[in-house]
Amino acid sequence: MPWNATRGTRAQTARIPHPGRWQRCVFPMVAYCLIHEGGYDTIGVTYQKATDAVVGAGKILQVPSREVYLKGPGMIFRGNPASYRTEVQLVVE
């Protein structure tokens, strides 16, 4: 299963209630990111590789992890699970 490792700074956003409207607040974080290519039934292998790489680098994992679905099933047609792409983000300290 192919996977691509990148590491960088990401911004985590949260919706903060404000009288009469919503505001976005940005929280800085550093994340180890991998692109998983394939179906969701095999994403555990990517999480294991990412966790091993982070721990091997001497970093401490934080929670929660995040997934960004870059390409997945459509609303009507399921598509080909082999072509799904998911960015796995593990927050590190």
What are the structure tokens assigned to 73, written together? 């099933």
Residue whose tokens read 């555990």:
44
Is the pLDDT score of 3 beyond 60?
A: no
What are the structure tokens assigned to 36, written together? 């998983």
Residues 20-37: tens digit of each pLDDT: 666 555 567 788 888 999
The answer to whether 90 touches 54, Cβ cutoff 8 Å, is: yes
In this predicted model, which residue has the larger pLDDT, 26 or 70?
70
- Across the strands, what pairs with 61? 92
Domain boundaries, given as residue ranges, for the chain: 3-92
Mean pLDDT computed over every residue of the chain: 78
What are the structure tokens assigned to 56, written together? 């091997």
The answer to whether 1 touches 38, Cβ cutoff 8 Å, is: yes
Run of H or E including 47: helix 43-56
Q: What is the pTM of this model?
A: 0.67
Provide the CATH topology of domain 3-92. Answer: Multidrug-efflux Transporter 1 Regulator Bmrr; Chain A (3.20.80)
